[in-house]
Structure formats: structure tokens, C-alpha cells
Amino acid sequence: MRIALLSDIHANLPAFEAVLEDLEKQKPDAVYCLGDLVGYNVWPNQVIGLIRSHGIATIAGNHDLKVAKILPSQDECSTEKSSEYAYKLVGNKEREYLLTLPRHLKLEFQLNDDSLNMLLVHGSPRSINEYLLEELPEDYMSEMLKEFKTDILCFGHSHKPYHRIINSGENGADHFHHLINTGSVGKPKDGDVRACYVILTIDASASTKTRYGIQVDFIRVKYDVEKAAQAVELSLLPYAFADNLRGAY
């Protein structure tokens, strides 16, 4: 089975459209979005519309939940630049959609007389705001994976893609876990300005007893970065958001 995982679109319509076009070529069996549809750019409603029209199962990100406190803007005369402007652009219907998204999704696979549990979160199973960085201690990650009974943990939030395998087995018995950060579609922070998403392939040999049978491919997609950056500059969003899209981290 081939599963596409994407996250952190952040209202970047040109990047998301390019990813959707690439997904048409990849033809995965399922597509999941791990949150943060909005923030940092000017197309939140268009991005939400495409997520819904394509039937992409989506969970809430921390930026999506910010719309609970920041209402649509009624002041069309304002000239003050603010990061909050990104959330004021979200329409009422789109706001309602974001606030009813689930916090996580759990999938279970039965292969080779073995059960593989996959958990999709935005930050971590413990907190939507937690950053699961690649360099976190193995003991910390292993404890969390056991706590939430997860063999494949997929997440975003940090915008830095990686695939890490941890063996938490004891007494000579292997138990392999996969941690997968999908990177970011709309605001990469790993030095590559291209949109990023994951194709996760689970084949018939997959098992917690082996590290094989699960393949993670990071797909990078070119898009019109200048179009996205200039849209920020022509809006009431901070200019720094445009610089970040061009790779200024």
C-alpha cells in the first residue's frame, strides 16, 4: 500500500497545487494531511477548499486552532502588518471546518500475523505543539511510542523531514518503530525551498520484528516560490514570511 502524507501547507496555494499535481502522477492509495492548513500566507480558504474537494483526510494543526481566537477581519482600512492577518482571512465556513478537525488518526494493519499500529499527529501524541526533532534522545522517543502503542508515528510541525527507526525490543526480541516527519508543503525549513511530502510504502513483508517492509520516500516538488512570496509582500503579513519562503532561515 502506498500512502501520501503531507503537512504544514500554511495557506501556500501555489505549493499545494504543485503537490496535488504531483500526487496525480504518484497515484497513492490514500492521502492524509497532518494539519496546519493556514497561517503565513493569503490563501487559507482556497487551500481548505482543495483539501475538501479532494477528500483528503485531515487532522488539526496548532495554526488551524488559532482561528478560534482570531475572527475574520472587518477592518479593510488597516495598514498595520501583523502575523494575525493570516487568520483573519479565514472565512466562517472554513473556520468551522478547521475547528471540527480531529486531533489524530489511528490506522491498524494486520500483516504476517503481526499488528502494525500507525498514528498520525501534528506535533506529537502528547501535544499538538511539541516538536519531535530528529536529535531527541532515543529513550524519550521509545518511551512515548510505547505509551501510545504506536509502531509507525507520522507527524509534521517542525517543517524538517526525516525518517528514524528505533528498536525498543527487550531480552533479544526486536520491536522496530518508524518515526516519520513529513516536512512542509508550504514553508520548508530544511534549506530546500521546494514543497515536501512523503510517500510511505507498506508491503506484505512489513512487521515490527524487522526494519524492512516499510519504505519512506521524501518527494520534493518545485513550485512558483516568487508568486507565493510576492503575495505575502503585497498583503498585511510581515515581510519576513516572504523571505522565509525564499530560504532565509
Is residue 4 a contact partner of residue 31, using CB atoms and an 8 Å limit?
yes
Is residue 199 a contact partner of residue 217, using CB atoms and an 8 Å limit?
yes
pLDDT in tens, 110-161: 987 889 999 999 999 999 999 999 999 999 999 999 999 999 999 999 999 9
What are the structural domains, with CATH classification, of the chain?
A: 2-245 (3.60.21.10)
Task: Show Cβ contacts of residue 66 under 8 Å, excluding neighbours closer than 6 positions.
Answer: 38, 39, 87
Cα–Cα separations (whole angstroms), residue 90 to 74, 87, 147? 12, 5, 36
Residue whose entry in the numeric block shows the C-alpha cell 498514528 = 119
In a structure prediction context, what are the per-residue pLDDT tens digits for the chain, which is 249 residues long? 999 999 999 999 999 999 999 999 999 999 999 999 999 999 999 999 999 999 999 999 999 999 999 977 655 556 789 999 999 999 999 999 999 999 999 999 998 788 999 999 999 999 999 999 999 999 999 999 999 999 999 999 999 999 999 999 888 899 999 999 999 999 999 999 999 999 999 999 999 999 999 999 999 999 999 999 999 999 999 999 999 999 976
The neighbour count for residue 60, using CB atoms within 10 Å, is 21
Q: Give the global pTM.
A: 0.95
Is residue 11 a contact partner of residue 229, using CB atoms and an 8 Å limit?
no
Closest CA to 207 of 90, 79, 66, 113: 113
Name beta bridge partners: 181.
Answer: 155, 162
User: Edge to edge, what strands does the sheet with 57-58 contain?
Assistant: 57-58, 30-33, 2-6, 195-202, 214-221
Q: Is the dihedral of CA 81, 76, 95, 199 positive or negative?
A: negative
